[in-house]
């Protein structure tokens, strides 16, 4: 269900406000347990409250009561009851999170808005900022944007890896949220990324079509690998320019799997520079020796149909990305 990818699979459709009954549509479930699903999606809600909602039947899947061990399938509809009076870390006045979202970050994000209208915000998300809080992180881009736009019911349209910078879409209206989810599912959203990779990318490798499968390490960390039984995935790569230690590539997604660009690049023998998950340890060490402290992956462009017209959203390449490229040349 979760989409923290270089790709941008739609995750949850959230048709109602955060304090009313919500119907969450599950995508990319991978057999996840309902209790774990709710813990992740209802960040800030105590586990005891989540298990009580399951026990009393306040949470229902496809209209029926389920146990905490119930495993979800793609397309399942999860009913979540109203949560008034339960601490919600991204909205509760005086919450611990509020102290961590400083004025400097809010001002930076305000400047990073690429486009805004009555239904949509397009943000140039900085590298290192998660799209949402959770898993030990107090807040992310969506919580900060809700501070900036407290009168709007903002919802993430898709997700980016924490360390990936660039175009991130946030919907202000239910209608647009569902329409963009549909467009993502139908592959109508055009996505282009800039990536720096180690070594000399072979010019013959234009399209990588390798199935991808999620798995979990013994530590509990989620990873992705190429596997025969994985989901069909396609990334088209083009060389923008070459340097002594690496190449600057443009990557266009035809599917939006988790970590798709990163795993397709690694499987082709040229991992993304600064990738602490998939690059070889020697390559990670080289990046550090060159002073590269970020994942060199940037969501440069999104093209969507909005208000009946083609809307192109472009995020300029960040300065630290440019510095990394100069170090590789």
Distance in angstroms (rounded) separating the CA atoms of residues 3 and 131: 10
69 and 195 share one domain: no
Q: What is the pLDDT of residue 124?
A: 98
Nearest to 27 by CA among 62, 54, 3, 50: 3
Decide if 87 is inside a domain. no
Decide if 92 is inside a domain. no
Phi, psi of 270 (to 5 degrees): -140, 80
Nearest to 160 by CA among 327, 3, 318: 3
Q: What is the pLDDT of residue 6?
A: 55
Q: What is the pLDDT of residue 227?
A: 97
Decide if 94 is inside a domain. no
Q: How far apart are the first and last CA of the chain?
A: 39
Decide if 313 is inside a domain. yes
Q: At what angle do helices 34-41 and 47-56 cross, to 10 degrees?
A: 130
Q: ∠ CA 233-310-158 to the nearest 5 degrees? A: 45
Decide if 240 is inside a domain. yes
Which residue among 48, 79, 110 closes a domain? 79
Can you give the CATH number for the domain in which 311 is found?
3.30.2350.10
Residues of the chain with confidence (pLDDT) below 70: 1-20, 28-30, 44, 84-100, 134-137
Across-strand partners of 166? 125, 299
DSSP assignment of 148-161 equals H-TTS--EESS---
Length of the chain: 329
Decide if 115 is inside a domain. no
Can you give the CATH number for the domain in which 63 is found?
3.10.290.10
Which residue among 40, 62, 79 closes a domain? 79
Out of 8, 28, 88, 161, which one is annotated catalytic? 161
Contact 154, 145 (CB under 8 A): yes
Spatial neighbors of 129 by CB under 8 A, at least 6 apart, are: 140, 141, 162
Nearest to 165 by CA among 132, 193, 133: 193
pLDDT digits (tens, 9 = 90+) for 156-177: 999 999 999 999 999 999 899 9
Write out the H or E segment, with its range, that includes residue 283: helix 281-289
Write the DSSP symbol of residue 139. Answer: -
Q: ∠ CA 223-101-125 to the nearest 5 degrees? A: 50
Decide if 3 is inside a domain. no
Q: What is the pLDDT of residue 158?
A: 94
Q: What is the pLDDT of residue 73?
A: 85
The structure tokens listed for 81 are: 């009851």
Catalytic residue at 35?
no
- Domain of 47? 23-79
The total number of structural domains in the chain stands at 2
Decide if 218 is inside a domain. yes
Which residue among 45, 63, 79 closes a domain? 79
């Amino acid at each position: 269900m979760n989409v923290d990818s270089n790709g941008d699979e739609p995750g949850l459709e959230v048709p109602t406000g955060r304090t009313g009954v919500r119907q969450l549509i599950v995508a990319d479930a991978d057999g996840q347990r309902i209790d774990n699903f709710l813990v992740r999606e209802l960040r800030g809600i105590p586990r005891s409250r989540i298990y009580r909602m399951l026990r009393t039947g306040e949470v229902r899947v496809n209209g029926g009561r389920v146990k905490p061990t119930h495993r979800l399938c793609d397309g399942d509809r999860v009913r979540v009851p109203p949560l008034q009076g339960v601490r919600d870390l991204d909205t509760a006045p005086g919450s611990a999170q509020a102290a961590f979202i400083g004025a400097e970050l809010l001002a930076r994000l305000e400047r990073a808005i690429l486009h805004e209208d009555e239904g949509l915000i397009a943000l140039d998300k900085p590298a290192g900022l998660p799209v949402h809080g959770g898993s030990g992180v107090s807040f992310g881009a969506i919580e900060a944007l809700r501070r900036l736009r407290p009168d709007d019911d903002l919802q993430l349209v898709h997700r980016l890896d924490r360390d990936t910078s660039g175009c991130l879409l946030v919907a202000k209206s239910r209608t647009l949220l569902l329409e963009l989810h549909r467009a993502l599912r139908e592959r109508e959203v055009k996505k282009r990324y800039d990536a720096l990779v180690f070594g000399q990318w072979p010019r013959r490798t234009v399209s990588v079509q390798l199935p991808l499968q999620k798995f979990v390490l013994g530590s509990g960390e989620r990873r992705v690998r190429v596997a025969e039984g994985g989901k069909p995935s396609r990334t088209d790569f083009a060389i923008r320019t070459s340097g002594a230690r690496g190449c600057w590539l443009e990557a266009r997604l035809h599917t939006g799997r988790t970590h798709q660009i990163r795993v397709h690049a690694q499987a082709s023998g040229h991992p993304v520079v600064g990738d602490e998950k998939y690059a070889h340890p020697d390559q990670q060490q080289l990046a550090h020796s060159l002073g590269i402290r970020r994942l060199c992956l940037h969501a440069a462009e999104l093209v969507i149909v909005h208000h009946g017209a083609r809307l192109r959203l472009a995020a300029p390449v960040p300065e630290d990305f440019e510095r990394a490229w100069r170090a590789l040349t």
